[in-house]
């Protein structure tokens, strides 16, 4: 296994988080990102991610995930009308 360069780690952590959240949203395991905080997510697949959440680059991640525009967009995508 190859070590990840420290400068790349936050970007990889964000990509990993987005993939996992996308899967959960698509499968209906996560109804919304409203009040979702990655640091509080105790799922096994988030174990290694939590190590990187303290990185300064990811300091505003909770704020970004709970941004009204993002929550509205996700709600629209999940609405029955969006499935048509």
Distances (CA, A) of 37 to 2, 49, 73, 84: 29, 12, 18, 31
| pLDDT above 70: residue 83 | no
| pLDDT above 60: residue 84 | no
The predicted pLDDT at position 27 comes to: 94
| pLDDT above 80: residue 81 | no
Measure the CA–CA gap between 82 and 80, rounded to whole angstroms.
Answer: 5
Measure the CA–CA gap between 54 and 84, rounded to whole angstroms.
Answer: 41
What does the pLDDT look like over 30-73, one tens digit per residue?
999 999 999 999 999 999 888 888 899 999 999 999 999 999 99
Q: Spell out the domain ranges in the chain.
A: 19-83
């Amino acid at each position: 296994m190859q070590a990840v360069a420290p400068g790349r780690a936050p970007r990889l952590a964000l990509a990993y988080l987005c993939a996992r959240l996308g899967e959960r949203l698509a499968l209906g395991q996560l109804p919304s990102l409203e009040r979702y905080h990655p640091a509080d997510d105790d799922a096994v697949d988030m174990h290694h991610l939590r190590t990187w959440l303290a990185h300064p680059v990811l300091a505003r991640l909770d704020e970004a995930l709970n941004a009204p525009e993002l929550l509205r967009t996700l709600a629209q995508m999940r609405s029955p009308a969006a499935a048509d």
